[in-house]
Each structure stands twice: as C-alpha cells, then as structure tokens.
Amino acid sequence: MVEEKNKSSPDEKSKEDVKQDKSGQQGKTWGYDLYPERRGTFKPKLGSVLIGREGKENIDKLKCEKNVFECVKNSPIVKVMMAALKSSGCPIDIRRHISCEVCDYSVSGGYDPELNQIVVCQNVSTRQGMVQGVLAHEMIHMFDYCRNELDFKNMEHLACTEIRAANLTHCSFASAWSQGDASWLKIKQAHQDCVKTKALYSVLAVRQIGKREAVDIIEKVFPKCYADLEPIGRRIRRNSDDMIRAFKEAAYYGYE
C-alpha cells in the first residue's frame, strides 16, 4: 500500500499516478479493491440504481462532507487528533486530506498513505457518529505514518497501528460483547481480545495473508502497541466523558 519512502512524498503523487499503481493485482493485494472510486473503476449498477442503493452518489457525497465538517468543528476526539497531527508537523487540510467516496460495503473508511488521505465511505458511514469513528480511527494511522515513520508494507508496523487504532478509538465493553469477546468476569481481558479481533479483521481486509500468520504477527507486537496511548492518552469508552477528558488533557501533551 505504501511505496518506498523518499522516492516521492505522499503529497507529490497525483491521483492518476496512484490509480495506475492500484489498478492491477498489486492493488488487490494491498486492499485497494475495496475502494473502487479511488481505483477509478466504480460504475453504478442498474439493479442497484433501481433499488436506490446507487445512483445518488453526489447527494451522498454532500451529506458525507457535511458530517466531516461537523466532526472537525465539534468532535472532541477529532479535535485532539487534528491538534496532535499539527503539533507533529502534519497539519490536516480537510479539503486535501479527507475524501468522501464510494467503497465496498465491507469497509466504512480507510487511510491511503500514497496520497496521505483518509477515505470516508459515503455509502456506508452515513451518520455523523459513524463518520466521527472513522476519522478518529484513521487519524491514528495518519499520526503513526507522520510521527513514527510507519511502513505499511511491514506487517508488524501494520498490525501495530491497527492495534493502536482499535485500542484507542474502537473497543469498549459493548463492542467487545458484540464481537463475542466480552465476559463480565474478565473485563480487562475482554478489551484486549476485542482489540486483537478488530486488528485481525483490519489486517485481513487489506492483506492477502493467512489468518494464522496474521494472528502470530498481532500477538508478537501486541504488548508494546497496546500500551502505547499516544496521542490521546487514554482509551475511549462508549457513553462516557472520555473524549471530553482527552480534549481537556491534550494541552498537557503539547497538542493545542
């Protein structure tokens, strides 16, 4: 998914260059087949248009962009991530670095390091809360790529950033329960299992490797990556004030 560094920076590549890189088998291997609009291969199907599933892409894009704007303006967790990226030398221009697009229905968003862009799947993430979740999750990947010299071709790097994103912005007792990882007797273990499950699904979605290999890689890097809470500083629980607390604490980390 990521070309070798220093050959050309993400902002120097055009969309046409990247479309060519993603059009063949390599694109499928690195997960770009899940983003047909990004590959330049999306065409509405007549059957889907007739049932209202496709054919309204322009309207969906406007709704998605409105939700993105509202999240950037009002969401505490998105504000924390944008401040952290800015402090790390990678400020976000929402017109340049966030793109609403049609995706495969198996994904709700993604991060494209080739163009240094977050993709919000306008046909899947249709509510503001979903968009907030996508932005927070993918900004963790963007932060890691900016600050930690993340190499998405390195499976350990990929597993680590997926662990961090699930740990910081996705998993709670409720989400662990929905994934079948929860237990009232082992709440801490349930959270860790949720993170591992979410990271595994994410890795398998974008890499053509076996499940056993992916599990082994996740287990290898899990202790270090699970303990890394930068830049949020805490795990965000559902239906709590954690996002507001993280926003108030951001200044202590130099993220303003």
How does pLDDT run across 167-206, given as a tens digit for each residue? 998 885 344 334 444 444 455 678 899 899 999 999 998 8
DSSP letter at 221?
H
Choosing from 37, 114, 138, 162, the catalytic residue is: 138
Contact 33, 105 (CB under 8 A): no
Q: How far apart are CA 140 and CA 163, in angstroms?
A: 10
Q: Where are the domains of the chain?
A: 10-253
**pLDDT band at residue 40, thresholds of 50, 70 and 90?**
confident
Q: In 3-state terms, what secondary structure has residue 172?
A: coil
Query: Is 3 an annotated catalytic residue?
Result: no
Condensed to tens digits (0 to 9), the pLDDT of residues 43-86 reads 877 777 766 777 789 999 999 999 999 999 999 999 999 999 99
Sheet harboring 98-101: ordered strands across? 98-101, 117-121, 109-112
- Enter the pTM of the model: 0.80
- 109-112 and 117-121 strand pairing: antiparallel
Residue from 209, 109, 197 nearest 155 by CA: 209
What mean pLDDT is reported for the chain? 82
- The residue ranges of DSSP E strands in the chain, in sequence order, are 98-101, 109-112, 117-121
